[in-house]
Amino acid sequence: MNQNWIPLAQMHLGGSRELVDTLARTPLSRILAIVVVLTLLRVLVYPFHKAARKNRGFAFKFYQFLNESFDSLAFAGVLVFMLVRPYVLQTFLIPTGSMWPELYVNSFIVANKAIYRISDPKPGDVVVFHPPKQAALAPDDLDAEGEMKADFIKRCIGTPGDLIEMKNGMLYRNGKHVDEPYTVFSKCIDQNKPCQDYQKLSDAERSHVMPASFKLVKLNGKLIPLNYTKLDANAPVPMVNDLAATEGPYSIAEDYQIGTREEQQRAVQLPAERLPAGMYLMMGDNRNNSFDGRGWGLVSRDRIVGRAEFVWWPISQAHRTH
């Protein structure tokens, strides 16, 4: 499985994409400072506007324009960034292809942040969330407090109390097979740069993807995601038994790697555990190109940001997410 997750902070985008994403992620403290500055400017301009009111010439119109502009910008800052964005809707940039073809790299989605204030995520929801620190692929992915810098977007596969297993790549929830029409196996079109364009694997290529199984197990008193094949389990470097295979069957965060074959075998024999209260399991639709809950574990309820509702940019890809 390719670990091709790319933090948003490392994406080098140009033009409108970079501008929109920068605005969408502007810290609230900075917005508050801008609103305060606009309000002060409005106060400073007011005496000049009042003095120019007598002749209502060019100066009056100019100061009136400044007054109205400062008012509008301050109002927009309060409404959009202090009310709408924190509690209702927020736009997000898709940095990787883990949800391809439902979501393309560099497209923008709108996430509904209000829905999970009155309900909980359900299996099948496309969810924006703050990933745990185990999802980091490099030290730069973490901020000064040890938290992930970027949000993730994946599909909710399991909710509290669910028993989730994958057997040779097939998903089972509470003992019943789950049909997943949204999943694909793909390859990167251009291997010489961070992947942005994918294509589905042919049947022949798909036959060389070694399917992994998955379950949550309690090992040494800790609940961990366990990925396993007939060859190994949570190995730092998964084994393949097909010379045509170009990648391992799974990826696993360093915290959950199992070094010895004996302990791997012991872990595989452990029973599958249900998701604990308040915990969710997320996976990408692009199954062999998604570093997700199978590799770094569960997401707590308080880390869930919202539900993806629709793609709004680029226009040619606009659609409701499902």
Per the annotation, the verdict on 154 as an active-site residue is yes
- For 24-125, list the strands marked E by DSSP: 89-93, 108-112
Beta bridge partner(s), residue 155: 126, 283
The H or E element spanning position 158 is strand 152-158
- Exactly one of 98, 107, 186, 251 is catalytic; name it: 98
CB 293 within 8 A of CB 127: no
- Identify the sign of the CA torsion 121, 125, 129, 131: positive
Do 251 and 212 meet the contact criterion of CB atoms below 8 Å apart? no
Place of tokens 């707590």: 300
- 113, 154, 187, 215: the active-site residue: 154
**Pairing between strand 299-300 and 279-283?**
antiparallel
Identify whether the C-beta of residue 151 lies closer than 8 Å to the C-beta of residue 128: yes
The answer to whether 149 is a known catalytic residue is: no
Beta bridge partners of 164: 173
Give me 151's structure tokens.
């949000």
Task: Specify burial of residue 215 (Cβ count, 10 A radius: 0-12, 13-18, 19+).
Answer: buried
Give the alpha-carbon dihedral of 312, 315, 319, 320, to 10 degrees: 10
Element (H, E) at 214: strand 213-219
Contact between 209 and 249 (Cβ < 8 Å): yes
DSSP 3-state of 91: strand
Catalytically annotated residues: 98, 154
